Amino acid sequence: MPVKELTKAEETIMQLLWQLKEAMVKDIIELMPEPKPAYNTVSTVVRVLEGKKFVDHKPYGNSHVYFPLISGEEYKKFTFDKLMSGYFSNSYKSLVSFIANEKKLDVKQLDELTQLIEDLKRKKK
């Protein structure tokens, strides 16, 4: 099943669910920064995530325990691929150039990137 893009609120809750592995709504709220959202707000977002097939639940007394159906790695790959195609025309050269220039990498950081590339090239041979 194809991964869909999440809203900021949905992504925030998914990040917490990936961290917790499984949780009730109150557990998710506990990890959220102040001011904490209302229980009903978080519950609604979790149900939307369930509708999008990102989350499922199992009954626990009168409540539900929610757990991710899509891994954080899977969503990270989807997000990165979207970023690469949408902003960098699938050019890794453009991405690295952007990072080096925009984040003003120093010589040490550029050397670390060069070393990483060299290590990867050796592994491919």
The 10s digit of each residue's pLDDT in 1-55 is 678 899 999 999 999 999 999 999 999 999 999 999 999 999 999 999 999 999 9
Burial of 42 (0-12, 13-18, 19+ CB in 10 A): buried
| Same domain? 14 vs 46 | yes
Total domains in the chain come to: 2
| Same domain? 65 vs 108 | no
Q: What pTM did the predictor assign? A: 0.81
| Same domain? 71 vs 96 | no
Instruction: Work out the average pLDDT over 64-87.
Output: 95
Helix, strand, coil: what percent of the chain each, to 5?
65, 10, 25
Tokens of 92: 């890794």
Domain limits at 111? Answer: 91-125
Tokens of 41: 């707000």
| Same domain? 78 vs 65 | yes
The angle formed by the CA atoms of residues 59, 63 and 64, to the nearest 5 degrees, is: 50
Instruction: For residue 9, count other CB atoms closer than 10 A to its CB.
Output: 15
Q: What pLDDT does residue 1 have?
A: 61
Exposure string over 43-68, b if 16+ CB within 10 A, otherwise e: bebbebbeebebbeeeeeeeebbbeb
pLDDT bin (cut points 50, 70, 90) of residue 100 is: confident
CATH number of the domain encompassing residue 1: 1.10.10.10
